[in-house]
Each structure stands twice: as C-alpha cells, then as structure tokens.
C-alpha cells in the first residue's frame, strides 16, 4: 500500500492525529505529511487541520476488507465467488473487470470494490460521484447464456436484489425507479449500471456495477446534479463491509433465480416498490422530442409502459431516461 493510502487509513477513525505522529508511523517528515494533505481534497475527503491538535477526517470511514466482506456470504455463494479484489483507487470498478476479462472463468463470479473511482459512470454517460472511503462502489462480473437472458430485465432484477439487501440492513422508506435506481424518500440513494458484451449467439460477459451513497461528504455532494440521499440519513448505522457482502449474496441469488425463472420472479416486488407507476412522467430521448404520459408499470421484459391519450406504449431502458413530470 502506498504512503498516501496508509495515511488516509491512519485518519479513518476521524480522530485528530498530529503531523509528527503521522510522520513517525509512515517514516516521512511533517512537511511530507502536509503535502499529502493538500491533495486529499481531490479525493473528495474533507480534512480538518487545527493548530496544536493536528489533522482529522471530518467524515470517518471503515476501510474495505475482503475478509470482512466475505463474512456474511453463505457457503454456496462464497464458493462461487472466484475472486474478490479490494482496490484503493481505480477509474471504474466495472471498467476494471472488463479490462481483466481474460482472468474470468466460464462459470463463477468475480467481484471488486474500490475506495474511490476517478471516472465512475452512471446511465447514459452520466458521472457517478465517487469520493474516497465514504460510499460503496462494487462491481460483479459473470458469464451468462443467451437462454438465461432471454426474458430481459436483468438490471431490474438486480435493483430488487439491492433493495432486499438494504432492507436486510433495516433501512425503510425505499423504492425503485425504472430502470434500476434505488430511492430513499424520493431521493436517489443507489444506482446500477449493466454492461453486456458478446456475440449474438452468446454466451455474454455481464458486469453489474453498483454505487450506494453511505455518507456523502459536503465537498463531493456539490457535484451531484439531482436530488440524492445517503444511508446516514436513514437513521440506521450501516457497516460498509457487511453491506457489500450482503449485496453480493443477494445479487448472486437473484442472478440464479433470474436464470431459472426470468423477470417474472421479481415483478411482484418491483410493482410493490415502483415509484413511477400511476404518476405523470417525462421520457427523454437523445435529440428527440420529450414524451409525456402516465407510467403504468413494466411489462414481462422490463420495458416501461406509458399511457398517453388512452394508448399504452412500451419503452426499453437503452432508449430513454424517465423523470417525474
């Protein structure tokens, strides 16, 4: 681990540490400690420096640990997770798994988590704000047959799985927004990005990227251009490693169920938590006129149904984004 990341983890508990003490732990000078502190704002970290007391992180965090993440996993899921990598910093956890696809086995799963993403992505090319240490950035890669994907709607099934994992952590007031976002009290708290590649005949290499806000620093929050929430606002203390393991467990189980039964196995739960159904919405195409109508749930393939002037039409996730009117 580099000196910079060791320094961050020495401050992870949020307690004041003097520059002299930090320098001794790292074998560097106080001046070198100060130089590192100057660049931490680029990581989305809020550092407080107080004369006579030293430095502290305004938002403490629990460093990610592969052993702690694996702890909640059942024996069956753990045995199928071929690798779980903890990265300090990466452009994108999903891009990393795609670049290292050659390491993937025909069966099983690969996962990675990161403390920070420098180029985290959301749907339709939007940036996912990914400051160091305070949120969860997780991607899961697998190989799926064409038959297992035939029904469509895998990203919606993944959203239901993430919702289940958050509910297992006693978080309430959650909902899903088509196609795969998780909301807390009408504000976005988690998002899912599905990457699929392969020949038309299959099999397909699938990467699910999950981003969940746990404790968004104020400096990073200024970069978010939509209503958002984080788990610290839910009144429940969440262990980041335990949450990562709980999500992996839920995702693997959901993917197995999806392969056997398709989206049908998840539609009832989706409908129960659907935030758009029955509401006036706007659909936006790239460089196309906006469409307005009433959301009428989803079809068997995960397309959203929109009613306008008594006519109901279906729209696929890759084509549009949808907002409450």
pLDDT at 76: 94
Local confidence band at 70 (pLDDT 50, 70, 90 cut-offs): very high
Q: What is the CATH number of the domain that holds 319?
A: 2.30.30.100
Of 201, 227, 200, which is closest to residue 213 (Cα–Cα)? 227
- In terms of domains, do 254 and 291 share one? no
Total domains present in the chain:
3
- In terms of domains, do 147 and 267 share one? yes
Boundary (domain end) residue, out of 272, 290, 305: 272
Concerning whether 323 is annotated as a catalytic residue, the answer is yes
For the record, the structure tokens of 188 come out as 């976005």
- Per residue in 27-55, pLDDT tens? 999 999 998 888 887 787 888 899 989 99
Q: What is the CATH number of the domain that holds 39?
A: 1.10.10.10
CA distance linking residue 88 with residue 77, whole number of Å: 24
Local confidence band at 217 (pLDDT 50, 70, 90 cut-offs): confident
Boundary (domain end) residue, out of 12, 39, 57: 57
- In terms of domains, do 297 and 268 share one? no
- With tokens 């997770």, the residue in question is 81
Query: Got the DSSP string for 236-252?
Result: ----HHHHHHHHHHHHH
Give the chain's mean pLDDT: 90
- In terms of domains, do 281 and 267 share one? no
Of the ranges 10-14, 124-128, 199-203, which is most confident? Answer: 10-14
Q: Which residue has the higher pLDDT, 126 or 118?
A: 118
- In terms of domains, do 256 and 123 share one? yes
pTM: 0.89
For the record, the structure tokens of 323 come out as 């907002």
Cα three-residue angle 315-317-322, rounded to 5 degrees: 75
Strands 81-90 and 109-117: parallel
- In terms of domains, do 15 and 133 share one? no
- Per residue in 220-239, pLDDT tens? 777 787 889 999 999 888 99
Averaged pLDDT for residues 145-169: 90
- In terms of domains, do 135 and 246 share one? yes
- In terms of domains, do 97 and 215 share one? yes
pLDDT at 56: 93
Concerning whether 110 is annotated as a catalytic residue, the answer is no
For the record, the structure tokens of 76 come out as 């069956």
- In terms of domains, do 39 and 159 share one? no
Averaged pLDDT for residues 118-134: 79
Choose the catalytic residue: 17, 88, 116, 188: 188
Concerning whether 126 is annotated as a catalytic residue, the answer is no
Q: What is the CATH number of the domain that holds 260?
A: 3.30.930.10
- Per residue in 76-93, pLDDT tens? 999 999 999 999 999 999
Choose the catalytic residue: 123, 126, 215, 296: 123
CA distance linking residue 322 with residue 290, whole number of Å: 10
- In terms of domains, do 101 and 168 share one? yes
Q: Which residue has the higher pLDDT, 128 or 93?
A: 93
- In terms of domains, do 309 and 233 share one? no
Q: Which residue has the higher pLDDT, 1 or 179?
A: 179
- Per residue in 267-298, pLDDT tens? 999 999 999 999 999 998 777 788 899 999 99
pLDDT at 38: 84
Measured from the Cβ of residue 44, the count of other Cβ atoms closer than 10 Å reads: 22
pLDDT at 1: 66
Q: Domain span at residue 288?
A: 276-324
Boundary (domain end) residue, out of 39, 57, 75: 57
Q: How far apart are the first and last CA of the chain?
A: 48
pLDDT at 125 over 70: no
- In terms of domains, do 42 and 108 share one? no
Local confidence band at 197 (pLDDT 50, 70, 90 cut-offs): confident
Of the ranges 18-32, 124-138, 284-298, which is most confident? Answer: 18-32
Q: What percent of the chain has pLDDT over 70?
A: 98
């Amino acid at each position: 681990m580099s000196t910079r990341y060791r320094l961050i983890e020495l401050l992870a508990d949020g307690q004041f540490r003097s520059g002299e003490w930090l320098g001794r732990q790292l074998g560097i000078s106080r001046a070198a400690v100060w130089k590192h502190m100057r660049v931490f704002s680029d990581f989305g970290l809020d550092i407080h420096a107080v004369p006579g007391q030293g430095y502290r992180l305004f938002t403490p965090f629990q460093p990610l640990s592969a052993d702690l993440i694996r702890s909640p996993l059942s024996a069956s899921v753990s045995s199928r997770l071929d690798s779980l990598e903890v990265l300090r910093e990466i452009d994108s956890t999903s891009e990393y798994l795609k670049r290292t696809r050659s390491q993937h086995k025909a069966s099983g799963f690969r996962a990675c988590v990161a403390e920070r993403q420098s180029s985290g992505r959301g749907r339709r090319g939007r940036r996912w704000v990914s400051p160091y240490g305070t949120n969860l950035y997780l991607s899961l890669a697998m190989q799926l047959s064409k038959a297992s994907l035939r029904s469509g709607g895998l990203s919606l099934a993944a959203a239901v799985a993430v919702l289940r994992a958050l509910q297992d952590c006693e978080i309430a007031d959650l909902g899903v927004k088509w196609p795969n976002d998780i909301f807390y009290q009408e504000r976005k708290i988690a998002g899912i990005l599905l990457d699929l590649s392969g020949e038309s005949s299959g099999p397909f290499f699938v990467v699910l990227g999950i981003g969940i806000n746990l404790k968004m620093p104020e400096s990073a929050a200024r970069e978010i251009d939509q209503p958002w929430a984080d788990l610290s606002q839910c009144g429940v203390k969440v262990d980041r490693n335990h949450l990562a393991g709980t999500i992996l467990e839920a995702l693997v189980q959901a993917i197995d169920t999806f392969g056997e039964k398709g989206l049908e196995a998840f539609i009832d739960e989706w409908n129960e938590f659907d935030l758009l159904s029955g509401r006036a919405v706007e659909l936006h195409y790239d460089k196309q006129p906006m469409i307005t109508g009433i959301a009428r749930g989803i079809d068997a393939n995960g397309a959203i149904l929109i009613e306008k002037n008594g006519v109901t039409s279906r729209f696929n996730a890759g084509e549009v984004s949808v907002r409450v009117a």
